[in-house]
Amino acid sequence: MHSTHSFAVPKLNPEQQKAVLIADKPLLVIAGAGSGKTRVITEKISHLLDKGIEAKHITAVTFTNKAAKEMRSRVEKICSAKTSKHVRISTFHSLGLDIIRKEHQSLGLKKNISILDEQDKLKVLQDILENSQHQLDKAQIKPLAWQISGWKNQAVLPPQAMSMAEDKQQQFAAALYEQYQQYNQVCNSVDFDDLILAPLKLFKENPEILERWRNNTRYLLLDEYQDTNTTQYELFKFLVGPLGQFTVVGDDDQSIYAWRGANPENLFQLKKDFPRLEIIKLEQNYRSSQRILKSANQLISNNPHLYEKKLWSDIHGDEKISVIKCKDEFSEAQQIAAEISRTKFKHRANNADFAILYRSNHQARLLEKSLRELSLPYVISGGTSFFSQTEIKDVLSYIKLLINPDDNSAFLRIINTPRREIGTSTVEKLAHYANERHCSLFDACFEMGLEHQLNERSYKKIRSFCDWIVSLSDRTQQEDPIAILHELIQHIDYYDWIKAHANSDKQAERRIDNVLELIKWIDNSAKKSQEERTLGDIVSRMMLLDSLERNEDEEKTDQIKLMTLHAAKGLEFPYVYLIGMEEGILPHQNSIDSEQIEEERRLAYVGITRAQKQLTFSYCSQRKKYGDISSTEPSRFLTELPVEDLDWAVVNKKNPEEQKKKGQESLAFMKSLLQ
């Protein structure tokens, strides 16, 4: 039996404890940065189990897989593994996928649903447009994809989008949206936005299905509430029903995803929709020194707030917040690298204790160079995953089709990659036929009836492709799969296709190397495994390994972390360097132009509250922009910080005494190394 807590949950502060114990009314926890919100959620799950709510009726929803994984391991630590494994802990999207999978028939879908990622989505839109004689390049398709995504995040369906369209362009996008949804229906696929929109539509139209899911979800806990968009909030409302047995945890000061559709106004809405709402603020911070928090509080006080809060901490650090003025971006990268090297020596710190945060990815390039020069190991977090590269996805789709011909998504990806003169109208007819016959696209190619649907030329092309896949698939059972993979790539002239579609020789070379690396990886996996493994086993294991290994590699190795401010949310580091504190960079020029300074201020706030012991800002007095050197202004956010807590390192020339002291410190350290 799971251990019961006494009513006073140990080691929680009074506010945390209160948040854990309230279970009979809707609760909003305004949790400041570093205030122990994950702990509150996990202790609450434990308390709900103690109260006799069955594990299978408790659902906790987060936004990232990493957060879900962390929550799961914490729940298992404080509750018995037997009980806790039945608690549903998932991301919003995987909850949506669960609902779609269980209710696929009511949505007019078949069981094996394919999920389109961003690249797949662009490709489908491109195919639809080509089919309707609209030749648009990638740069033109992206805004259309964003527009469709924006509608879905606002819970707007195609007919509504059409009636809302204000001009020709929006009408065009709305018509494309309708075609795109039809195409996905026929091909039994959904995109990421559908994972929320489809369940919402289902619940609206089917009260009995909604009732079943409500009964299954007796208590719902939702993390990072400020990041929810309209559709997610609607889905949440449906699941909790009028009773509102829920705890949502959020911080309006960390709402930094408006560009992705997040709607911080949902915090206001909650009070309107649930008048019994109890509100608790967690203001004690367990991460940063009081000085860092004072700066964060002062900065964010310039934004309007529905719920005022002031973070405080018992941790007292002596270090002032440094502001380094640099001549240009080259000197900035060098100074930051030198500063890290010095701090590392002084405090005997590890590389992993340092993080450099920036507004945009391009700011990392020069930093990399400077860190390498000083032999400081680093890792860029949140870079492109190996598996999201186009060429890797192409080759894996071929392999997946050899393993499981019913994988519609893989089939659609490669049926015309490289070009086989199989047009989208042929694919649509095939998809339509497969849908009517309730079979996969691949199986449909072997049915007699298909001949009557397609012209002879198209039918022959499709059939010869499928016959070739079948013969290769059979051979993988008896022959060396690696040799077959090389043969496959040769047969489709894939390397020539890469060269023809690359922007440069260098890019082509890199892509071909990636494919070779993939095959090598599969080969090594096969050799490593003791028992005979099929190609299918290797690939599925490898897909899992990639995501696991990559995360673990990042966490275990002693490297300085480089990442964008968006990627840094939820993390903490003893020493944080926030670079490029200039007008036009942070706040970003686009936000200045569109007067969206508040979100940029929240972004700076997220950056500041990542630091535990020491925080350093840097800015340049000039910077290269579009090939010209132009002078820059320090960020307005620097002027909003408490003057008495800042040390403008270069501006206030260090007095001789201080210089001497610094020199002696470095000398003493060097001596200690030599002993």
Name the residues annotated as catalytic: 37-38, 223-224, 254, 610
- Grouping H, G, I as helix, E, B as strand and the rest as coil, residue 281 is strand
What is the 8-class DSSP label of residue 263?
-
The closest of 107, 525, 617 to 325, measured between CA atoms, is 617
The closest of 282, 291, 289, 283 to 315, measured between CA atoms, is 289
The closest of 311, 321, 310, 328 to 370, measured between CA atoms, is 328
Strands 560-564 and 611-620: unpaired
- Name residue 195's beta-bridge partners: none
Query: Cα-Cα-Cα-Cα dihedral of 90, 96, 99, 100, to 10°?
Result: -140
595: CB partners within 8 A, 6+ apart: none
Which sign does the torsion angle of CA 461, 467, 473, 479 carry? negative
Count of C-beta atoms within a 10 Å radius of residue 478: 7
What is the 8-class DSSP label of residue 64?
S
Report residue 357: phi and psi, to 5°.
Answer: -115, 145
Burial class (CB in 10 A: 0-12, 13-18, 19+), 318: exposed
- Grouping H, G, I as helix, E, B as strand and the rest as coil, residue 225 is helix
Let me know: does 623 contact 629? Beta carbons within 8 Å.
yes
77: CB partners within 8 A, 6+ apart: none
Distance CA 71, CA 9 (A): 18
Distance CA 615, CA 253 (A): 19
Length of the chain counted residue by residue: 675
599: CB partners within 8 A, 6+ apart: 255, 256, 258, 591
Distances (CA, A) of 616 to 330, 560, 578: 17, 15, 6
Tokens 């200045």: give the residue: 592
Report residue 285: phi and psi, to 5°.
Answer: -100, 135
Q: Which amino acid is at 165?
A: A
289: CB partners within 8 A, 6+ apart: 313, 315, 316, 317, 319, 612, 613
What is the 8-class DSSP label of residue 35?
S
HEC-encoded secondary structure of 86-114: CCEEEEHHHHHHHHHHHCCCCCCCCCCCE
Distances (CA, A) of 499 to 420, 505, 517: 17, 7, 17
- Residue 119 CB-half CA count within 13 A: 13
Report the Cα 528 to chain-centroid distance in Å: 32
Which parts of 409-480 are beta strand (E)?
none
Q: Give ∠ CA 329-334-338 in degrees, rounded to 5.
A: 145
Report residue 577: phi and psi, to 5°.
Answer: -115, 120
Q: Rg for the chain (alpha carbons), in Å?
A: 28
Count of C-beta atoms within a 10 Å radius of residue 415: 22
